């Protein structure tokens, strides 16, 4: 405890004091109180908390998930069956016996016990105030509403306490400490609320408390499936991150370009009203659109002078290389088409296949606009960026010939509504990088216009429009505007 900041010790002490105040009235309940039920539920909860097995070893799940969810129906059953002071007490033994990580293992256990006690007390109070508890003879379906409300309050109390300890112990800003805590854990709590109610009903049924144990195996299986889902999502993110890092290492001129194109693609998708699944696919497509650069010789990507026609032809193969790289990654879906076709043009002068108009997949038309927008609004070591209004004006000028006007309008509307703040990109200069925490954005305006690049105009039309046997020119010089 001494290693914790004073604010964190005060926060933990306040939570413990509040939990003691809430549980203290239990001593006045007398022998007629359901002490046996409270002891049995406390022992059952302690068994769930101290279980060493997890739904899937090594998985770090979002807030409010994990092995605790297996025990959640037990705590909620206690909130539905017991008076609030006894409901608070049922959570304490298991929380104090549960495994805890260093540092401050004891403080973590005390905090966990106090938080669960307060959450159980609040849920029981709400359930009783709604006229539904302590549960004796359930009145379906009306009892479901108080049960769900109690589960939501249980979640809210834990989220509030978790945010408080993030502020006091970890020093997080209050604006970010509570962000996502309630949203990330409310769903699982609402799902397990009816499970706790079912356990309480079975506890009071003719079959006795042993029947309530039948609720736990399905809950464990649901937690295991939830962990499987998050492991798969984590693997997807790791795959994308590894590919992006490989591209950034190889082509230092466009470091961070993929992430920004992904953000711009998501802005367009949301403005178009596309479903969240397609929005996420387009975001990933924007991030990975240049993954084919891994197949392009590094000397071409880092060449300072103008490219020869043969060198341009080699670089123009990068969409096909990218499609080959990601072809076997099933979760990318339509993002693979965007990677292959993001340099096609509406007038048919693009590459690699010279598709026209509606022949170009919608996802590729989205990424093409996002790609050109970031190329114009990003500062490189060899030229300044264009202001956002100038870049949007150039996109509108090229709409109908190079870009889909619908996508251009969507990006312009999204930028007007949300703005655009590109993340600082490390300079592409081979000079040593500044230490962490040093540096920052380059001096001067952050969105000035790019100059011509070794014979190109610096605009989307100048970079792509010069015909060459039905093809377009991918670069005027370096690869930075790809």
Q: How far apart are CA 469 and CA 106, in angstroms?
A: 73
What pLDDT does 2 receive? 55
Beta bridge partners of residue 248, listed in sequence order: none
Give dist(CA 320, CA 158) in Å, integer.
50
Angle value at C-alpha 152, between 92 and 16, nearest 5 degrees? 30
CA atoms within 13 A on the CB side of 214: 12
Are 216 and 70 in contact by the 8 Å Cβ rule? The answer is yes
Residue 210 per-residue DSSP state: G
Residue 213 has what DSSP assignment?
A: G
| Closest of 241, 240, 16 to residue 111, by C-alpha | 16
pLDDT of residue 435: 35
- For residue 382, the model assigns a pLDDT of 56
pLDDT at 478: 36
Residues of the chain with pLDDT under 70: 1-3, 51-70, 133, 136-138, 223, 226-227, 252-254, 380-383, 422-482
Q: Which residue has the tokens 């039309």?
A: 461
165 burial level (CB within 10 Å; 0-12, 13-18, 19+): buried
Cis (ω within 30 of 0) for the bond into 468? Answer: no
State the angle between helix axes of 405-418 and 257-271 in degrees (0 to 180), rounded to the nearest 10.
Answer: 100
Residue 108: C-alpha distances to residues 33, 44, 104, 156, 177 (Å): 31, 21, 6, 19, 18
Predicted local distance difference test score (pLDDT) of residue 407: 94
Tell me how many degrees the CA angle 418-422-426 measures, rounded to the nearest 5: 170
pTM of the model: 0.54
Handedness of CA 235, 240, 243, 246 (dihedral sign): negative
For residue 261, which of 248, 276, 274 has the smallest C-alpha distance? 248
Cα–Cα distance for residue pair 210/452, rounded to 1 Å: 78
Q: 443-461 pLDDT, tens per residue? A: 333 323 333 333 333 333 3
Count the neighbouring beta carbons within 10 Å of the beta carbon of residue 351.
Answer: 23
DSSP-derived letter for residue 477 is S
| Six token digits for residue 469 | 């046997």
Say what the pLDDT of residue 95 is.
Answer: 87
């Amino acid at each position: 405890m001494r290693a914790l900041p004073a604010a964190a010790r005060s926060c933990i002490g306040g939570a413990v004091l509040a939990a003691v105040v809430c549980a203290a009235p239990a001593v006045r309940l007398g022998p007629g109180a359901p002490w046996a039920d409270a002891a049995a539920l406390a022992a059952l909860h302690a068994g769930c908390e101290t279980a060493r097995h997890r739904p899937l070893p090594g998985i770090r799940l979002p807030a409010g998930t994990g092995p605790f969810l297996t025990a959640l129906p037990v705590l909620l059953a206690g909130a539905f069956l017991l008076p609030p002071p006894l409901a608070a007490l049922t959570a304490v033994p298991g929380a104090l016996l549960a495994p805890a990580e260093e540092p401050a293992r004891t403080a973590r256990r005390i905090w966990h016990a106090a938080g669960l006690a307060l959450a159980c007390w609040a849920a029981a109070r709400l359930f009783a105030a709604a006229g539904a508890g302590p549960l004796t003879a359930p009145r379906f379906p009306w009892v479901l509403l108080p049960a769900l409300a109690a589960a939501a309050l249980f979640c809210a109390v834990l989220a509030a306490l978790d945010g408080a300890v993030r502020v006091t112990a970890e020093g997080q800003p209050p604006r970010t400490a509570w962000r996502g805590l309630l949203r990330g854990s409310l769903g699982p709590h609402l799902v397990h609320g009816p499970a706790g109610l079912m356990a309480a009903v079975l506890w009071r049924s003719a079959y006795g408390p042993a029947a309530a144990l039948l609720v736990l195996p399905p809950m464990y299986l649901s937690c295991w499936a939830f962990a499987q889902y998050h492991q798969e999502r984590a693997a997807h993110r790791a795959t994308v991150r590894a590919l992006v890092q490989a591209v950034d290492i190889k082509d230092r001129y466009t470091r961070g370009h993929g992430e920004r194109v992904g953000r711009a693609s998501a802005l367009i998708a949301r403005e178009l009203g596309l479903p969240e699944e397609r929005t996420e696919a387009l975001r990933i497509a924007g991030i990975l659109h240049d993954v084919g650069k891994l197949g392009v010789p590094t000397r071409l990507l880092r060449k300072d002078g103008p490219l020869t026609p043969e060198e341009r032809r080699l670089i123009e193969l990068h969409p096909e290389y990218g499609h080959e790289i990601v072809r076997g990654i099933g979760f990318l879906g339509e993002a693979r088409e965007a990677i292959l076709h993001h340099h096609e043009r509406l007038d048919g002068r693009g590459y690699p296949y010279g598709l026209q108009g509606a022949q170009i997949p919608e996802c590729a038309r989205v990424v093409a606009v996002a790609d050109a927008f970031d190329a114009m609004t990003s500062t490189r070591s060899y030229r300044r960026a264009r202001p956002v209004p100038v870049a949007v004006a150039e996109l509108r000028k090229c709409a109908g010939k190079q870009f889909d006007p619908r996508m251009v309008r969507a990006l312009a509307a999204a930028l007007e509504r949300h703005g655009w703040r590109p993340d600082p990109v490390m300079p592409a200069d081979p000079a040593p990088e500044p230490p962490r925490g040093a540096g920052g954005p380059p001096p001067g305006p952050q969105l000035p216009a790019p100059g011509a690049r070794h014979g190109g105009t610096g605009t989307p039309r100048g970079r792509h429009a010069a015909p060459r046997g039905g093809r377009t020119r991918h670069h005027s010089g370096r690869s930075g505007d790809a």
